[in-house]
Amino acid sequence: SSTEKPVLLNDIADAKAFVSGAEVAVIGFFQDAQSPEAEQFRLAAAQVPEVPFGLSSSAAVLSHYGASANTVVLFRRVDNDRRDLDMNNREVDAKKLTRFIRMNELRLVTEYDPVTAIGVMQSSLQFNLLLITDKMSPKHPERMRKFRAAAELYKGKILFILLDSNLKSNERVLSYFQLKKSQLPALAVFHTPDDEHDVLTVNEISIERVQDFCNRFLQ
């Protein structure tokens, strides 16, 4: 993209539009836009091209968000949540900042791929529920709608993940759960600390079926 990253946010209206325009957005609040911390922020922005980065040194914008100077804030629209990282600690560099974003950029339903895998692995949530399905299927939008609705019920408990069976890089996951493409769509629930898991092949996704499957496993 030829767009300059990060985007300069000069006033509250700019910042509000920036945050509401993305499912995940990151703003660096710096009194001095040329400080070493701001430079590390720019380096991190280049590392994470799919997440929009904004930068503001406006006192009004900092005050509006209750952010202190040299703070990076990640906004998640999906659960109206935010995560703050204090960059006054000199040990926070572009690498740590990138990791902070990867850990916290999770969506209500996170699509699994080699990039998001990092965030999934580093999530504090110990339960993952995968919907393993063909994204090209005409039934996909409806499946996703129901899967997303079910995800709302388990916010903060289970990380909901979409796994596209068409991606070559995902074949490993299918073989781990001993699934063939002919058995899809399928739900797979996984407890990360001990690798315990369960698999359910489903003709169709329903919120009730997802709930039943999750609750049985959690119990």
| Whole-number pLDDT of residue 40 | 94
Per-residue pLDDT, averaged over 44-59, amounts to 94
**pLDDT band with cut points at 50, 70 and 90 for residue 82:** confident
> What is the pLDDT, as a whole number, of residue 79?
62
Residues of the chain with CATH 3.40.30.10: 7-104, 109-218
What percent of the chain has pLDDT above 70? 95
Distance between CA 140 and CA 160 in Å, rounded? Answer: 16
Q: Whole-number mean pLDDT of the chain?
A: 90
The rounded distance, in Å, linking the Cα atoms of 50 and 1 is 10
CATH of 7-104, one of 3.40.30.10, 3.50.50.60, 3.40.50.2000, 2.60.40.1930: 3.40.30.10
The predicted pLDDT at position 72 comes to 96
Write phi, then psi, for 133 (nearest 5 degrees).
Answer: -155, 165
Q: Is the pLDDT of residue 1 over 60?
A: no
In the predicted model, is pLDDT for residue 18 greater than 90?
yes
Give the Cβ contact number of residue 41 at 10 Å.
Answer: 25
pLDDT tens sequence across 184-213: 999 999 998 999 999 999 988 999 999 999
Start-end of H helices in the chain: 12-20, 36-47, 59-64, 94-104, 116-122, 140-153, 171-176, 207-218
Domain spanning 109-218, CATH architecture = 3-Layer(aba) Sandwich (3.40)
pLDDT at 2: 40
DSSP code at position 51: S
pLDDT of residue 12: 97
What is the mean predicted confidence (pLDDT) over 78-82? Answer: 70
- Candidates 6, 156, 155; CA nearest to 72 is 6
Mean pLDDT of 168-181: 92
pTM of the model: 0.67
Mean per-residue pLDDT for 53-76? Answer: 95
Long-range contacts of 76-82 (CB under 8 A, 24+ apart): 76/23, 76/24, 76/104, 76/105, 76/106, 76/107, 77/19, 77/20, 77/22, 77/23, 77/24, 77/25, 78/23, 78/107, 78/108, 79/108, 79/155, 79/156
pLDDT of residue 78: 59
- How do residues 110-158 score in pLDDT, each as one tens digit? 898 876 777 777 677 889 999 999 999 999 999 999 999 999 899 878 9
| Residue 4: band (very low, low, confident or very high) from pLDDT cuts 50, 70, 90 | low
- Residue 106 pLDDT > 90, yes or no? no
Chain centroid, CA 176 distance in Å: 23
